[in-house]
Amino acid sequence: MSAYTSKEALKEVEALGARQASIYVYEAPVRLWHWVNALAMTVLAVTGWFIASPLPSVPGEASANFLMGTIRFVHFAAGYVLAIGFLGRIYWAFVGNRHARQIFYVPVWDAQWWREIVFEAKWYAFLERDPKKYVGHNPLAHFAMFSVFVTTTVFMIVTGFALYAEGTGMDSWQYALFGWVIALFGDTYSIHTWHHVGMWVLVIFVMVHVYAAIREDIMSRQTMISTMVNGLRSYKDDQP
Amino acid sequence: MGQRLETFYDVIRRRGVSRRSFLKFCSLTAASLGLGPTMAARMAEAMETKPRIPVIWLHGLECTCCTESFIRSAHPLVADVLLSMISLDYDDTIMAAAGHQAEAILDETLKEHYGNYILAVEGNPPLAEDGVFCIPGGEPFVNKLKRMSAGASAVIAWGSCASWGCVQAAKPNPTQATPIHKVITDKPVIKVPGCPPIAEVMTGVVTYMLTFGTLPELDRQGRPKMFYSQRIHDKCYRRPHFDAGQFVEEWDDEGARKGYCLYKMGCKGPTTYNACSSVQWNEGVSWPVKSGHGCLGCSEEDFWDKGSFYSRLETIEGFGVEGTADEIGIAAAGAVGAGIAAHAAASAVKRIVQKPTTHDRRPQDGSGTGDHA
């Protein structure tokens, strides 16, 4: 057997006989946002946890320590990154390709879309032998992206800034923009509680999201994980 | 009560100040404020003509802790407020009149000072069963409240009872105790929450209204911004320990002795809007956190229904058992994690047992003998 060179590899690829076509789905700003957002969410969840349940007390003078202050600063900074990133993502929904718009609305009026949600649910329930091909999110993923990820993220940004406005005070722009949330909940203790609930919703979303992405990368007919790295959706077969 | 409202000048004269001294006071005040020579006369005229505002103080479903707090005001001294600044025409707890004589004052006020008096309400009306659970003076309190609010220029809700409902409105609220802004909907209601409110905050609100003749600036929930715009946490003297990450972990630990932050003991300071940490209580002697116990959040809405005073998270009902957001979240994440593991296992089994199909890449395993066309 000869050495495995590019010549050898080309023979293999030719033997495949497939049109190795791929579609540019996720443009660079979407991919960049995805990973920045993932990092921000991770930082927010961890620091948020330690704000609510602080680490054991540090020894020494209060003036010599700023642990809680640092954790809160990181939380707020990551919150700004997430919020500004989300605004940028919304902007890109307007100027980017059609796939950049997908997660911001759901075509509830489309009967075919609902049928394919049922199909995808059956695929995940092992009731369908073979999956369908999709370019963007499949309808079930699309539904989850909108109803869980986008809405919860908006909720977390709004409640997060309302809580942040407590510290910046009633003269701040944060209070001017988000102070109504405090009045809506009645008191900020409740906002803290629901901010926690939102965090757990997102943690569970991330668990399912990561699992589904890995599983689909293996079992579906298109690439998944690499698509969010290089933007290209490639297909494993030429069948319809 | 006389037909004509007593002015500040009348009160000053009644307290033994001569007219000569009064005019001297006006001149001196005008001079010390750097005002022009005509201002002394204008000040004197204002003092002579500005009437003391009548105040009607009603008591509904409550514990009188607001009155107990109010009469301990030091700056201004409550005696000055009652005897010089306002004309407290009716307050069944501290007034001399009783029975029909007392109740007659209400009718008289409605007739004489319609649209010109301040209605201060301590406690709230229970609405269930046509209000029979609170009948002061033989009349359901809700009726009395509506009757007296009709002619008031402004309404002050003293304490958490009048502002939010407080303990008597706690679940399941059998008497349907209702905060007064839900009963009085046609007038501005100034909420001065707290259980009780701080004495100086109460007299401060009254003083402001008398001095400027307007309502103090209110926040979105109707509380005076000057006392309720910041949290206990924002002005807490233990805040440096919070920022440093130094907490009381147990009631009798080293941190408690050193006066560390009470955050982990469930202090509600970070979510409570009140002036305790700056004004303090009993002429600045102390306040809850200063005496080593966390804030209960008594000036916040529904504070009694939000779970333990010693927890950082409220309990959420409706999950069969009550739990905090974190307990529910951890349980849900655990369940989803187990589900994912089971699903992954089932997926692996499917992949092993399911025969390769035409769209499956697996036959192209590098041997070059795949069944692709």
Q: What number is the average pLDDT over the span B255-271?
A: 94
The predicted structure's pLDDT at residue B119: 95
Angle formed by the axes of helices A28-52 and A67-95, to 10°? 150
Q: What number is the average pLDDT over the span B11-21?
A: 86
> Do A62 and B325 make contact, defined as CB atoms within 8 angstroms?
no
CA distance B313 to chain A (A): 6
Residue B268 contacts residue B297 (beta carbons within 8 Å): yes
Per-residue confidence at A1, pLDDT binned at 50, 70, 90? low
SS (H, E, C) chain A: CCCCCHHHHHHHHHHHCCCCCEEECCCHHHHHHHHHHHHHHHHHHHHHHHHHCCCCCCCCCHHHCCHHHHHHHHHHHHHHHHHHHHHHHHHHHHHCCHHHHHHHCCCCCCHHHHHHHHHHHHHHCCCCCCCCCCCCCCHHHHHHHHHHHHHHHHHHHHHHHHHHHHHHCCCCHHHHHHHHHHHHHCCHHHHHHHHHHHHHHHHHHHHHHHHHHHHHHHHCCECCCCHHHHCEEEECCCCC
**Proportion of chain A above pLDDT 90, given as a percent:** 77
pTM of the model: 0.86
Per-residue confidence at A208, pLDDT binned at 50, 70, 90? very high
ipTM (interface pTM): 0.88
List where CATH 4.10.480.10 sits in chain B: 233-301
The predicted structure's pLDDT at residue B17: 87
pLDDT digits (tens, 9 = 90+) for A87-102: 999 999 999 999 999 9
Residue B220 pLDDT > 60: yes
* Binding-site positions of B for [4Fe-4S] cluster: 63, 66, 161, 195, 233, 236, 261, 267
The predicted structure's pLDDT at residue B371: 43
Structure-token pair, residue B76: 């201004």
Residue B35 pLDDT > 90: no
pLDDT digits (tens, 9 = 90+) for A169-205: 889 999 999 999 998 998 899 999 999 999 999 999 9
Residue with tokens 């046609």: B186
CATH homologous superfamily of domain B8-12+52-228? NADH:ubiquinone oxidoreductase-like, 20kDa subunit (3.40.50.700)
> Do B326 and A52 make contact, defined as CB atoms within 8 angstroms?
yes
CA distance A170 to chain B (A): 7
Residues in B closer than 8 angstroms to A51, CB to CB, are none
> Do A126 and B346 make contact, defined as CB atoms within 8 angstroms?
yes
> Do A219 and B347 make contact, defined as CB atoms within 8 angstroms?
yes
Residue B373 pLDDT > 50: no
pLDDT digits (tens, 9 = 90+) for B123-178: 999 999 999 999 988 899 999 999 999 999 999 999 999 999 999 999 999 999 99
- DSSP symbols for B49-111: HPBPEEEEEEE-BS-SHHHHHHTT-BTTBHHHIIIIIEEEEEETTT-S--HHHHHHHHHHHHH
* Beta-carbon contacts below 8 Å between A and B: 157
> Do A237 and B346 make contact, defined as CB atoms within 8 angstroms?
no
Q: Where are the beta strands (DSSP E) in B123-206?
A: 152-158, 189-192
Would you tell me which CATH number, out of the four given (3.10.310.40, 3.40.50.970, 3.40.47.10, 4.10.480.10), belongs to the domain B233-301? 4.10.480.10
Calculate the average pLDDT of chain B: 87
**Which residue in B257, B167, B181, B206 sits closest to B76, CA to CA?**
B206
The predicted structure's pLDDT at residue B92: 85
Three-state secondary-structure class, residue B39? helix
Residue B116 contacts residue B153 (beta carbons within 8 Å): yes
pLDDT digits (tens, 9 = 90+) for B173-201: 999 999 999 999 998 899 999 999 999 99
Per-residue confidence at B98, pLDDT binned at 50, 70, 90? confident
pLDDT digits (tens, 9 = 90+) for A6-28: 887 778 777 776 666 789 999 99
What is A26-57+64-234's CATH number? 1.20.950.20
> Do A187 and B302 make contact, defined as CB atoms within 8 angstroms?
yes
pLDDT digits (tens, 9 = 90+) for A102-148: 999 999 999 999 999 999 999 999 988 888 888 889 999 999 999 99
Q: What number is the average pLDDT over the span B213-217?
A: 88
Residues in A closer than 8 angstroms to B255, CB to CB, are 57
pLDDT digits (tens, 9 = 90+) for B318-368: 655 667 888 889 999 999 999 999 999 999 988 888 766 555 554 444 444
* Separation of alpha carbons B287 and B197, rounded Å: 12
The predicted structure's pLDDT at residue A132: 87
Structure-token pair, residue A228: 């969010």
Q: Which of B242, B263, B359 sits opposite A221 (nearest CB)?
A: B359
Q: Residue ranges per domain, chain A?
A: 26-57+64-234
